Structure 1
Amino acid sequence: MIEWWPAPAKINLFLHITGRRADGYHELQTAFQFLEHGDKLKFTITETPEIILQTQLTDVAADDNLIVRAAKLLQTTAKVTLGVAIQLYKKLPMGGGLGGGSSDAATTLVALNKLWQCDLTEDQLATLGLQLGADVPVFVRGHAAWAEGVGEIFTEIDPPEPWYLVIFPDCAVSTAEIFSATELTRDCEPITIAGFLAGEGSNICESVVKKLHPPVAQALTWLAQYAAIPRMTGTGSCVFARFNSADEAENVLQNVPEHWHAFTAKGCNESPLSLCAKDFDRSLNVTAN
């Protein structure tokens, strides 16, 4: 039986804003890919209905944590009488644009749907996830995706799966801060999936983030010495560059300045969470037989 469930990082391979709706939300185009790197969660089912989270995070109240909110939302929706104690092993930085909180919430929904035997479909889980955050559904669905709308309309894609070097330049960036910036470009010309796969697309938020958070600009400049197109993920602050092999990425990692946190990871179009859920189902079938 699975002990620890993965909550992988994501990166935005590009990010455009094509408009703004009357309700203030931005119309986006982006592409998500997962990394073989992330947080881990352990779930211990209890007979009493309490949701207990054990984590080293001290600056987020338990009831505000997306993990607890996800568990309670599923518990209420599926009318579950059981509870759970959840351990979080946190590796992804907060405010880094790697989707850590959204990924943790998605892993909670997917794992507890199985452990509590809720039997909700992927579509139902994704709908619940959208109540928690725009990025949660892509983690629930578990496949690299082209996203439009406010980030909730998905089309599966299969871009190349290179190795990445990711740098967290020791500053957290607020998505709300960037999306409310007056100088943010909000009228990008829409591109197509074919255009993106052929090399079109950039991160339209980069220029704003670099101005407001100089460490991001410094990290991008540093990475440009080693890679052709370093890029920021989401609204930052993490930046990344792609490499053809693990060795190439590791060689550059050795040169990253000590005051930045960095790691290497393989890009993957099928999420580690999706693979884990399939392993869980296979283990149940073996047991049943």
Structure 2
Amino acid sequence: MNEWWPAPAKLNLFLHITGRRPDGYHDLQTAFQFVDYGDKLKFTVTDDSNIVLNADLANVPAEDNLIVRAAKLLQSTSHCQSGAIIQLEKNLPMGGGLGGGSSDAATTLVALNRLWQCGLKEDQLASLGLQLGADVPVFVRGHAAWAEGVGEIFTRITPAEPWYLVIFPNCNVATAEIFSAAQLTRDCEPITIAGFLAGEGSNICEPVVKNLYPPVAQALDWLAQYATIPRMTGTGSCVFARFDSAQQAENVLENVPEDWHAFTAKGCNESPLHVFAKDFERSLNVTAK
């Protein structure tokens, strides 16, 4: 089969920093939810062991791309002799806080584990994903999650699944710059999952990003005309607002300034990748019969 596998975007519904560790990393609290919009990848299994990525990504050498690194890591871990030609349809902006690169890596692990018949379990794939980036495991596991620690300790959650309008104000935020900023608040009082689901929580990085990146501040101010509590995802630069219906989100989308990239999407507590993977497995079982 030669189908397009989804690599969905994620939104950080809130982000708190509760402390800083001796090693320099930050203790976090955040909540991830997927949306039904993202990149797409197509995989063609080959008899040789080469990994070939067809993608038009400026300033990202193929060997440094998380997709190639994920494929090679799975290949070496499972002692797989096969290779793959991977085609990427890039829809998510880089540096926007939507997790595009991490999602691409997770889709590569999940898809090639099946296509190469490696047989690794979800925990094993998540462990490989953590070697590639802190966000990769949540995409591998494929369920909306509460995350703590440095973002690697997950608890499944089931928040509401509204419609979102997401705006990329055409600027890229450097995560390292935000986490190293002197003015960043690093002592948030921890909140509970119940508190978050009841409406507590904010993005503690927003004031820093707004100060350093005026386009993000402009996008948040613009969204505030149409929705209550527009928010930045992760360390930015994408911002989002929630709506009760697709039509409400689409109505606002029509007014988004032309120099910003924007899209509407449905919140998903089960990742579109996991839905696709389960359908893929069922189709294989039907074919086998």
2:2–2:43 CA contact under 8 A, matched in 1: no
Say whether the 8 Å CA contact 2:39–2:90 is kept in structure 1.
yes
Structure 1: give runs of 5+ residues left out of the alignment.
none
Rounded to whole Å, the distance in 1 between the matches of 2:199 and 2:283 is: 41
Match of 1:232 in 2: 232
Match of 1:25 in 2: 25
- Number of residue equivalences: 289
* Map of 1:109 onto structure 2: 109
Q: Secondary structure at the match of 1:167?
A: strand
Structure 1 counterpart of 2:140: 140
Q: What amino acid does structure 2 have at the position aligned with 1:13?
A: L
1:215-264 CA deviation, whole Å, 9 max, x = no partner? 00000000000001100000000000000000000000001111111000
Secondary structure of the structure 1 residue equivalent to 2:33: strand
1:58 CA drift (Å): 2.5
Q: Aligned-pair distance for 1:287?
A: 1.5
Alignment correspondent of 2:55: 55
Tell me the CA shift for residue 87 of structure 1: 0.2
Separation in structure 1 between the aligned mates of residue 17 and residue 38 of structure 2, nearest angstrom: 27
Distance 2:74 2:23 in 1: 27
Correspondence 1:45 to 2:45 = yes
Which residue number in structure 1 is paired with residue 65 of structure 2?
A: 65
Q: Deviations over 1:173-203 (max 9, x none)?
A: 0111101111111110000000000000000
> CA distance change for structure 1 residues 2 and 244 in 2, over 3 Å: closer, same or farther?
farther
CA distance in 2, matches of 1:226, 1:219: 12
Question: SS where residue 49 of structure 1 aligns?
Answer: coil
State whether residues 4 and 41 of structure 1, in contact with CA within 8 Å, keep that contact through their aligned partners in structure 2: yes
5 Å-filtered alignment, 1:64-213, equals: 64-213=64-213
Deviation at 1:284, TM superposition (A): 1.4
SS in 2 for 1:283: helix
2:245 aligned residue:
245
Task: For 1:285 and 1:152, locate their aligned partners in 2 and report how far apart those are by CA, in whole Å.
Answer: 33
RMSD after superposition: 0.6
Per-residue deviation, residues 138-165 of structure 1 (Å, max 9, x unmatched): 0000000000000010000000000000
Identity of aligned residues (%): 80
Query: Which whole-Å CA distance do the structure 1 matches of 2:76 and 2:21 have between them?
Result: 31
Structure 1 SS opposite 2:187: coil
* Partners of 1:71 and 1:112 within 8 A in 2: yes
Which runs of no fewer than 5 residues in structure 2 stay unpaired?
none
Moved more, 50-59 or 194-203: 50-59
Taking structure 2 as the reference length, what is the TM-score of the superposition?
A: 0.99
Cα deviation for residue 59 of structure 1 reads 1.2
The answer (yes or no) to whether the contact 1:2–1:280 under 8 Å persists in 2 is no
User: Following superposition, which runs of at least 4 residues in structure 1 exceed 4 angstroms of deviation?
Assistant: none
| TM-score normalised by the chain length of structure 1 | 0.99
Determine the C-alpha separation between the residues in 2 that align with 1:95 and 1:241.
Answer: 19
Secondary structure of the residue aligned to 1:118 is coil
